[in-house]
Amino acid sequence: MFVTLTACNTEHKIKEAQIKRIDSLFAVLNLKQNELSLTDSTTLNKAITKYDNYIAFLTEKLNDTISKNEADNLQTFKNSGLNLEKIKSNFKVLNKRLLFVKNRLSELKQICTQENLPSKIIANILNEELNQISYLSAQITNYQKQSAVNIGAITSSLPGIEELIRQKNNGLLPIIISNTVSL
């Protein structure tokens, strides 16, 4: 009888530790969710709008040969704009993934507290979730870095792009471009 009580007590302590670990993982996910929400989506959206307006004009008006420097600057601008559009769609995917992992952790916590699932199985599931959270965390960090890098590239290429537009538009920026909010 003493062995049974000790085994039950040990199993109970293990499950308590697992619940604490789940709570810690929730804290990590909440932190990452906050980081993701603090990413400057306003500047991202402004940069994409600016990119769309500028590229629309250039696609219509640019049919001449341009210098290598202009072409390099235009290529940087285009690549960064396309990257920003991908980054924007990744934001939605990352948020959905965060919610999905949080729901799985909630379910796992319920299992820990309500069901008689052996702690070894729970430990394996927890390790799986930890791997998912580590991967998701790295993706969010990369999302933030890529967003900043590409917004910076768009911003730094704008003077050259605006000069190119002026050359193709009698020295003026079109109204849709001049009325676009600054980054």
**What size, in residues, is the chain?**
183
Mean pLDDT across the chain: 88
pLDDT at 182 over 80: no
Q: Which whole number is the average pLDDT over 35-46?
A: 86
The DSSP-derived string for 1-41 is -HHHHHHHHHHHHHHHHHHHHHHHHHHHHHHHHHHHHHS-H
Interval 2-25: pLDDT, tens:
444 455 678 778 888 999 999 999
Report the b/e string of 168-182 with b at 16+ CB within 10 A: beeeebbeebeebee
Which pLDDT score is estimated for 130? 93
Type of residue found at 70: E
How many other CB atoms are there within 10 angstroms of residue 26's CB atom?
Answer: 16
User: Where residue 157 falls among pLDDT bands split at 50, 70, 90?
Assistant: very high
Q: Which whole number is the average pLDDT over 132-158?
A: 94
pTM: 0.79
CATH 1.20.1270 fits 2-178, yes or no: yes
Task: Identify the residue whose tokens are 């959270």.
Answer: 133
User: Where residue 103 falls among pLDDT bands split at 50, 70, 90?
Assistant: very high
